[in-house]
Amino acid sequence: MCSWGNCGPSSLAGYCSSSVSLVGLPWPAPGAAHLDAILSHGIRSFTMAHVGSWQVPFLAQYPDFLAAGVILLASAFVYCGVHICSWLNRTFSAISLVVILFIVTLGFVLARPENWSTEEGGFAPFGFSGIMAGAATCFFAFLGFGAIAASSEEGQNPKRAVPMAIAISVGLMAGTNILASTVLTLMVPRHGLDPDWTLADAFYQRGYSWAGFIVAAGAVCCMTTVLFNILFAVPRIVHAMSTDGLFFQIFTRVHPRTQVPIVGILVFGFLMPLLAVLLDLEALIRFLSIGTLVTRPVVNTSIIVLRFQKSSPSSPLGSVSPGPVAEGYEHSSGHRRLEDTEQPSAAEPGQLRPALRPFLGFISGCRPGAAVAWALRVLVVSAIILDCVLAFGKSALHLPPWGHTLLLLLSSVVFLLSLLVLGAHQQQRRQDTFQVPMVPLIPAASILLNVFLMLHLSSLTWLRFSIWLLIDPFWLCYGYEGPKANSWESRHASHPCFSLPRENKGFLSGQEILETA
The pLDDT value recorded for residue 226 is: 78
Q: Among 278, 284, 237, which residue's Cα sits nearest to residue 261?
A: 237
Considering only residues 49 and 447, tell me which one the structure prediction assigns the higher pLDDT: 447
Q: Do the Cβ atoms of 284 and 22 come closer than 8 Å?
A: no
pLDDT (tens digit per residue) in 407-460? 999 999 999 999 999 999 989 887 767 788 899 999 999 999 999 999 988 887
Q: Percentage of the chain with pLDDT > 90?
A: 15
Rounded average pLDDT over 2-14: 49
Question: b/e string for 380-413 if b means 16 or more Cβ within 10 A?
Answer: bebbbbbbbbebeebeeeebeeeebeebbeebee
Instruction: Assess whether pLDDT exceeds 60 at residue 318.
Output: no
pLDDT (tens digit per residue) in 321-341? 444 444 444 444 444 444 444
- The count of other CB atoms within 10 Å of the CB of residue 272 is 28
Considering only residues 385 and 127, tell me which one the structure prediction assigns the higher pLDDT: 385
The pLDDT value recorded for residue 160 is: 81
Q: Do the Cβ atoms of 439 and 307 come closer than 8 Å?
A: yes
Considering only residues 437 and 23, tell me which one the structure prediction assigns the higher pLDDT: 437
| Integer-rounded Cα radius of gyration of the chain | 25
Rounded average pLDDT over 142-146: 72
Look at residue 126 and give its three-state secondary structure.
coil
- The count of other CB atoms within 10 Å of the CB of residue 178 is 11
Beta bridge partners, 59, equal 279
What mean pLDDT, rounded, does the chain reach? 76
Rounded average pLDDT over 282-293: 77
The pLDDT value recorded for residue 120 is: 80
pLDDT (tens digit per residue) in 169-183? 889 888 988 998 899
Instruction: Assess whether pLDDT exceeds 60 at residue 481.
Output: no
Q: Percentage of the chain with pLDDT > 70?
A: 74
Alpha helices of 198-280 — where are they, by DSSP H?
Answer: 198-205, 209-243, 262-278
- pLDDT-based confidence at 376, cuts 50/70/90? very high
Instruction: Assess whether pLDDT exceeds 80 at residue 281.
Output: no
- pLDDT-based confidence at 30, cuts 50/70/90? low
The pLDDT value recorded for residue 190 is: 83
pTM: 0.71
